[in-house]
Structure 1
Amino acid sequence: MKYLFVYLLLLFAVGALNAQNYTISGYIRDKASAENLIGANVYEPDLQAGTTSNEYGFFSLTLPRGKHTVDFSFIGYKKQSMVLDLKRDSNLNIELEMLAEIEEVTVYGTEGSKVDRTQMSMAEIQTSTLTKIPVLLGEPDVLKVIQLLPGVQSGAEGTSGIYVRGGGPDQNLFLLDGVPVYNASHLFGFFSVFNPSAVNSVKLYKGGFPARFGGRLSSVVDIRMKEGNMKEFKGEFSIGLISSRFSFEGPIKKDKTSFIISGRRTYIDLLARPVMKIVNKSTDGYDYTGGYYFYDLNAKVNHIFSEKSRLYFSSYLGLDKAYAIDEGYYVDDHIRYNEKFENGLKWGNVTNALRWNYLFSPRLFSNLTLTHSNYNFNVGEESYIFNTKDKTKTEDFFSYDSGIRDIALKMDFDYSSSKRHAVKFGIENIFHRFSPGVNHVKYVDGENTTQSADTTYGNTAVKANELRLYAEDIFELSPKIKLNVGGHFSLFNVQGKAYTSFEPRASLRFLGSEKWSLKASYAKMSQYVHLLTTSTISLPTDLWLPATKNVKPQIAHQWALGGVYKLPKGFDLSVEFFYKTMDNLIEYSEGASFTGIGNSWENKIETGKGWSYGMEVLFEKNIGKTTGWLGYTLSKSDRQFENLNFGEVFPAKYDRRHDISLALTHKFNDHIDIGASWVFGSGNATTLALQEYSTASGSYNYWNPSIEYYGGRNNYRMPAYHRLDVAVNFHKQKKHGMRTWSFGLYNAYSRQNPFYLDWGYDTQHGYNEDGWYYENSKGVLKQVSLFPLIPSISYTYKF
């Protein structure tokens, strides 16, 4: 790692000595809202020198003294060209105007071009796509769109979880304005926590990870929130079948300070509550109610002190809650007793980020960030019986809590030493507090207090400190060869043990011509958190756990090789091959679960290894009236644990051999556009008993249990999965804004896709030829399907 920082010092020295070069720098923004544009292109065609704006819209490009024509462009915006006579460093703030229709912008020789950039295994999701691709119940969802990309697989039917290149659900780093989100799911995994109304940009990294990212093995989902309109007040609200959402933004002080606030809430519980009270109204004095809801709230404020200094504060708050309540009364010996029984499950995330951007010079941009993240889940039940005569109360209470809290401080730098070098480096320190699982039991006997009890037991909290350092440089060896080389160093202190990891990262691009390039990458990744899970959907009972003195951190090595070819009329074709190894993976031991008295989670797990490899093909079109992509993945993912499956290799539960996805949007005119997606996936792996043996001897004994023989973990393949979704949007310009009606069909041809499989019985009965009654039961494999054809409708108004 020390050699990287020596290299950085040399770059600073070279930049300082090169007096004939000058730097243009500034921010690239949307002209209408002053929203910063992330990943906009800056290109000098004569020198074939270029760069892109960073996650704050800032760019810096160093050029020789003299006259230059510089192009500024971004997908969906009009290209802007400027003639500059460089005699000194110049500060430029560029405002680009949005196009009515996405046109082709030819950009060669800049890191923003897919053909030219060194970064591979990365996809960007246009925010306009989020509201056009049809999804379950018409709820726009970032992660469901990401599931349509090659190399990304979904878990169970309809869920928003992602499994990237054979990795597990815990191996995805979800960043919301740079803050990790540990549980990214609402509604038991069927929706993600990311409100599309608040999203500015989405990037998915599947491999070739830049050195600035660390902490996960399989992917990084980098989501940046909108910053708020600096020019005027804008807003929108949407009403759907199960939830409503709103967003409001505008200037606090025009061109100086802005804000945005967005929120969502489901209302299934509010609509169902009166119906449930009527249906479950009983004559014995007892009433039953229950429900489920989730909400989330995003807020952000940003203030410009000067061209060199600006401040951002962003926050997210989300909660899911499911509950059931049974209350009433009974009379015994002329005494009335009031009773109440309540069961509940809730989980949620809170994230906060305070960021300060400061421009030390046109070449050196800095960002100081203080973040806080907290995830917690609770499952429990409580009851009481109240004696109305003696005024005594007997209470019974149980709860199980688990969670994780992070506080971090990070400093990042972007440095442009010359037109051939773009350097990023930084340092971060994270303080973790893990609560793997605490049980709280309380019993109060209102009539005999000596029978009361109040106790807490379970896993103790684990505190850990993580230090990260990184440096990376994108530089040209020649016009055809470009490299991104860097390193990520981490130190994890926990329970008196220190784990260290140096993770080299390298990406190489060979530019064959302006139309095609070949790429290769290698990345080592370390992960100091584990997720113990028992299902293919994201449940709040999945436990986030740290590496400890007894449980090692996860390690992965990934190699990738691919190419990109630019076809006529805005089409791109990319092909990638990858191979990944993973060590120190954990799974529950046979028969273990997240509950249990007096048994640490470390005693419930097994440690093993895994590997995955495959091929990904992406054929896409990002311009014109019709846009979208066709993706195909051929892959294999295996696991091996010494004490599971008799030590034999078995397929991961999210292993899927073939995966196809088609996503299309078409704009007929300013009033009508449509979206459609079709997915196909060969069967997931599942564990099923192959044979059953009765332990009864002699005559049949109904109460005698049977023994099931499985033959191996994940020994059966479920039927293939495929589904078509369609949606149409009708827009109309009203006096004060734009009205949109959206109609959709999820699973348009009502395919009965497998949610899970289990053995059951088919019983045949009747009378035989002799008039005797008979009844025969035959064991059969039964499929449970979740979603048939589901229509959706929503109303959106933007003003």
Structure 2
Amino acid sequence: MKPFYLCFALLCSVHLVLAQNVTISGYVTDLTTGESLINANIYETLEKKGTVSNVYGFYSLTLPAGQHSLQFSFVGYNKQILGLNLQKDTVINMKLKQMADLDEITVHASKSNVERTQMSLIELPTARIEKLPVILGEPDVLKVIQLLPGVQAGTEGTSGIYVRGGGADQNLFLLDGVPVYNASHLFGFFSVFNSNAVKTVNLYKGGFPARFGGRLSSVVDIRMKEGNDQEYKGEFSVGLISSRFSFEGPINKGKTAFIVSGRRTYIDLLAQPFIQLANKKADNEDINAGYYFYDLNAKINHRFSDRDRLFLSVYSGKDKAYEKSEFTSVQTNYSDKYNDNLGWGNITSALRWNHVFSPKLFSNATLTYSKYRFDVESDYEYTEQEHYDRDYFRYLSGINDVTAKIDFDYYPAINHSLKFGASNTWHTFRPGVNHEKTTIDEDGYQLDQDTTYGNENIAATELDAYVEDSWNITRRLNANIGLHFSWFNVQNTNYTSFQPRMALRYLVSDNLSVKASYAKMSQYIHLLSSATISLPTDLWLPTTQNVKPQNSQQWALGAAYKHNKGYEFSVEAFYKKMDNLIEYKPGATFSGVSEGWESKIETGKGWSYGAEFMLEKKTGKTTGWLGYTLSWSNRKFDNLNFGETFPAKYDRRHDVNLVLNHEFSKKFDIGLAWVYGTGNATTLGAQDYAAMLPGMGRYQSDGMITYYGGRNSYRMPAYHRLDLSMNFHKQKKHGVRTWTVGLYNAYSRQNPFFVYWDSKTIVVPSPEGDYYKRKPVLKQVSLFPLIPSVSYTFKF
């Protein structure tokens, strides 16, 4: 019986210890709007214990029973301090009030990088996004992310990002937890994220928490605003190429709120008169061409009680380029009709239910749907007398996803907070389907041919599960340890992956910490691209029986230091290796479907390493950061470049970013961004040789063979650019008016978009007489000189 008594005594002692602790929990929200405050600090000043609110504003903190002093804080808000005698579990919903003299420029993360266990994380406030100068004056989330160390931009003007040597497909974009596959508008010049609808932006470059999976290089976690449940608010902005609006307010005050925001370009409308004038050749010819994109965000949430809350969020966006022309001649009964369309877009939706099971257990159940679609259509009709021809072509590609998932936040003890959950996604991949239709009717001969061919749709199922523990081992040593498991079923083939994650932080002093992290990642989709810029013709393709999932391992080591006057400095070194990367075989493209896409690719590996430095000033009239990245990114494919290692397309040795904002007064502030980067790597022909044409017995100048050197062996000229913006604010009777004037590429640097070989004629002296010779010349194409912009914004 002795073991029984020992066990009984142990259980009693555990119960006694637990009985001495109580838990406070609740939500932290904005007093004026009702918006939840993410990562608000809840700190017990006597015990020196604390926690932060989650992405829905919920917090839980376990403390010994007795007298306590609780401090609730969030940057830009007045602190609230409560004195409590805690004897039982207590619910405290705290509403914080914004400071009267809030300077939006200084809004930043509520927890400094020194204190945070998570490394390789950067939090971006939307106020900063709206203050920085960008192309054509359009605030853009990804343009600001491009200004951060460790993040490479694509080519001139594009919104693609390449993080720590990874590819464009290795970034997970989450909009309210739903993946967005194509995050670009206008062929990559703008992102699909309307800043009016965005609440928070978090960029993870490494050390990924176990709750994230599915990509190798980064996670961009974007949360939409929830809507003001106290009063109606709105904003609209008119710029050179687009306008946007946002409107929010209560449906049932304090219970139900909504927000809706939209954006549309009017390039097609502005260009129409010029298109008509340039192409008008006869009164009986009609030409119509243009391009536009739009975004629409909507969200509604209802609070049933302190325990239950329901959210519904929807996003829809589309790009469309079109050209229509019709020419008719009554005299000859002749007509020509062209109708060409190019379009792509995303739809995402999420229905989520928050439930508080107990003061220590919070859950979030979510059902999501997403759709990405790319569509090319060309229709030509020709009529003359009794003759009629029609050629019709259409190409479709895309992805449909349906996901069900459940996530839990559990706070079992003072020093532990657990996150765990699972999800199941049903994928439908459409790698590319062609539809062709030909009709001929002439002199009694008729042909009507309708054909559909191409790559077959591929269905796949993906299961993910995770657990992670944020553990305060001691006051100075914190850890986040987790495991992510994934299972992918496609074409009767199963792939599984166990992905351990770990992050450590040691607090050397209150102002200095050192950190380390490790993360293993798996990715079951690939982006097949043959272009130097992000285009909708880039194909999203699944792992199959023949194409294995991408894998990576990343190690990072760093340090963070904060100065008492508002400066923070961080340095991180990283090493990442990647397997099962894919690229097109030489000369292959997305078109030409006589063979499946799997026959057009090569598989290889890659690795990247480097160091990132960031000096940031977060308070005062002048804020901003200086970032520098030193990095290498290489690839190796057995059947490319003769099996030799070559630099990745966006391998850059040096990358410098300087970002500054200065507020002269509440009525006037300026923004500045200067960037410098080593030129992109590209492949150029090294020499042309005349080819011997069969049967001719001599060399022909029009039969040439180009010899290429190593893959990506040529470096384009360095890229650098200065952007400026000025914001003029004025308080009006019903709101605040802002005029924004900007200069993109202020000193009009001719940065390379791409380079190519051309030739010019030179005179060569000779004793027999001068003669002419063609000399090869390397030329450069640049897109954007100095571009001014102006926009008008009104917030009410």
**Under a length normalisation based on structure 1, what TM-score does the superposition of the two structures give?**
0.94
Q: Shift of the alpha carbon at 1:141?
A: 0.2
Distance in 2, Cα, partners of 1:237 & 1:105: 23
**Match for 2:784 among 771, 787, 794?**
787
| 1:327-379 CA distance string (max 9 Å, x none) | 11135xx5513321122211000000000000001110000000001001011
Given that 1:103 and 1:624 are in contact with CA atoms closer than 8 Å, whether structure 2 keeps it comes out as no
1:182 is paired with a residue whose SS is: coil
Distance in 2, Cα, partners of 1:51 & 1:500: 34
Query: Which sections of structure 1, spanning at least 5 residues, go unmatched?
Result: 1-9
Equivalent position of 2:214 in the other structure: 215
Equivalent position of 1:395 in the other structure: 390
Change (3 A) 1:61 1:102: farther
Alignment map for 1:746-757 (pairs within 5 Å) = 746-757=744-755
Equivalent position of 1:6 in the other structure: none
2:702 is paired with a residue whose SS is: coil
Q: Shift of the alpha carbon at 1:41?
A: 1.2
Larger displacement relative to structure 2 (695-704 or 528-537) = 695-704
2:36 is paired with a residue whose SS is: coil
Q: Shift of the alpha carbon at 1:275?
A: 2.5
Equivalent position of 1:461 in the other structure: 457
Q: Shift of the alpha carbon at 1:42?
A: 1.2
Distance in 2, Cα, partners of 1:745 & 1:357: 45
Change (3 A) 1:129 1:498: same
| AA matched with 1:420 | N
Alignment map for 1:593-742 (pairs within 5 Å) = 593-695=589-691, 704-742=702-740
**Match for 1:506 among 502, 505, 529?**
502
Given that 1:433 and 1:462 are in contact with CA atoms closer than 8 Å, whether structure 2 keeps it comes out as yes
1:129 is paired with a residue whose SS is: helix
Equivalent position of 2:232 in the other structure: 233
1:197 is paired with a residue whose SS is: helix
| AA matched with 2:95 | E
| AA matched with 1:57 | G
Q: Shift of the alpha carbon at 1:102?
A: 4.7
Q: Shift of the alpha carbon at 1:714?
A: 0.1
Given that 2:39 and 2:110 are in contact with CA atoms closer than 8 Å, whether structure 1 keeps it comes out as no
Given that 1:50 and 1:111 are in contact with CA atoms closer than 8 Å, whether structure 2 keeps it comes out as no
| AA matched with 2:63 | L
| AA matched with 2:565 | K
Equivalent position of 1:566 in the other structure: 562
| 1:613-640 CA distance string (max 9 Å, x none) | 0000011011121111110000000000
Q: Shift of the alpha carbon at 1:786?
A: 0.9
Alignment map for 1:522-533 (pairs within 5 Å) = 522-533=518-529
1:216 is paired with a residue whose SS is: coil
| 1:391-417 CA distance string (max 9 Å, x none) | x96422101111001000000000111
1:552 maps to 2:542: no
Distance in 2, Cα, partners of 1:770 & 1:272: 58
Change (3 A) 1:33 1:620: same
Q: Shift of the alpha carbon at 1:35?
A: 0.9
| AA matched with 1:567 | H
| 1:732-767 CA distance string (max 9 Å, x none) | 01111110000000011111111111111233579x
1:690 is paired with a residue whose SS is: strand
Equivalent position of 2:259 in the other structure: 260
Q: Shift of the alpha carbon at 1:775?
A: 4.6
Given that 2:691 and 2:700 are in contact with CA atoms closer than 8 Å, whether structure 1 keeps it comes out as no
Given that 1:111 and 1:118 are in contact with CA atoms closer than 8 Å, whether structure 2 keeps it comes out as no
Equivalent position of 1:7 in the other structure: none
1:280 maps to 2:283: no
RMSD value over aligned CA atoms?
2.4
Given that 1:101 and 1:624 are in contact with CA atoms closer than 8 Å, whether structure 2 keeps it comes out as no
Change (3 A) 1:212 1:19: same
Q: Shift of the alpha carbon at 1:294?
A: 0.4
Distance in 2, Cα, partners of 1:486 & 1:498: 23
Given that 1:69 and 1:84 are in contact with CA atoms closer than 8 Å, whether structure 2 keeps it comes out as yes
Q: Shift of the alpha carbon at 1:290?
A: 1.4
Q: Shift of the alpha carbon at 1:776?
A: 4.1
| AA matched with 1:36 | S
Equivalent position of 1:178 in the other structure: 177
Equivalent position of 2:295 in the other structure: 296
Alignment map for 1:130-145 (pairs within 5 Å) = 130-145=129-144
Given that 1:405 and 1:432 are in contact with CA atoms closer than 8 Å, whether structure 2 keeps it comes out as yes
Alignment map for 1:91-490 (pairs within 5 Å) = 91-99=91-99, 100-102=101-103, 112-283=111-282, 285-330=284-329, 335-386=332-383, 394-446=389-441, 450-490=446-486
| 1:488-532 CA distance string (max 9 Å, x none) | 000100000000000000011111110101100000000000000
Given that 1:464 and 1:495 are in contact with CA atoms closer than 8 Å, whether structure 2 keeps it comes out as yes
1:568 is paired with a residue whose SS is: coil
Equivalent position of 2:7 in the other structure: none
| 1:94-128 CA distance string (max 9 Å, x none) | 12222324599999xx9933212210000000110
Given that 1:15 and 1:418 are in contact with CA atoms closer than 8 Å, whether structure 2 keeps it comes out as no
Equivalent position of 1:743 in the other structure: 741
**Match for 1:578 among 545, 566, 574?**
574
Distance in 2, Cα, partners of 1:359 & 1:464: 33
Distance in 1, Cα, partners of 2:103 & 2:187: 37
Alignment map for 1:14-163 (pairs within 5 Å) = 18-99=18-99, 100-102=101-103, 112-163=111-162
Change (3 A) 1:17 1:183: farther
Give the number of aligned pairs: 782
Larger displacement relative to structure 2 (47-56 or 362-371) = 47-56
Distance in 1, Cα, partners of 2:698 & 2:276: 46
**Under a length normalisation based on structure 2, what TM-score does the superposition of the two structures give?**
0.95
Q: Shift of the alpha carbon at 1:284?
A: 7.0
Given that 1:763 and 1:776 are in contact with CA atoms closer than 8 Å, whether structure 2 keeps it comes out as yes
Q: Shift of the alpha carbon at 1:535?
A: 2.3
Work out the percentage of aligned pairs sharing the same amino acid: 61
Given that 1:402 and 1:435 are in contact with CA atoms closer than 8 Å, whether structure 2 keeps it comes out as yes
Distance in 2, Cα, partners of 1:731 & 1:104: 14
Q: Shift of the alpha carbon at 1:14?
A: 7.3
Larger displacement relative to structure 2 (449-458 or 644-653) = 449-458
Given that 2:203 and 2:219 are in contact with CA atoms closer than 8 Å, whether structure 1 keeps it comes out as yes
Query: Which sections of structure 2, spanning at least 5 residues, go unmatched?
Result: 1-9
1:704 is paired with a residue whose SS is: strand
Change (3 A) 1:624 1:16: farther
Distance in 2, Cα, partners of 1:105 & 1:157: 29
Distance in 2, Cα, partners of 1:452 & 1:549: 38
1:271 is paired with a residue whose SS is: helix
| AA matched with 1:66 | G
Distance in 1, Cα, partners of 2:564 & 2:20: 40
| AA matched with 1:532 | L
Larger displacement relative to structure 2 (49-58 or 347-356) = 49-58
Distance in 2, Cα, partners of 1:762 & 1:568: 62
Given that 1:577 and 1:614 are in contact with CA atoms closer than 8 Å, whether structure 2 keeps it comes out as yes
Equivalent position of 1:3 in the other structure: none
Distance in 2, Cα, partners of 1:104 & 1:33: 20
1:502 is paired with a residue whose SS is: strand
Equivalent position of 2:4 in the other structure: none
Q: Shift of the alpha carbon at 1:696?
A: 5.8
Change (3 A) 1:704 1:734: same
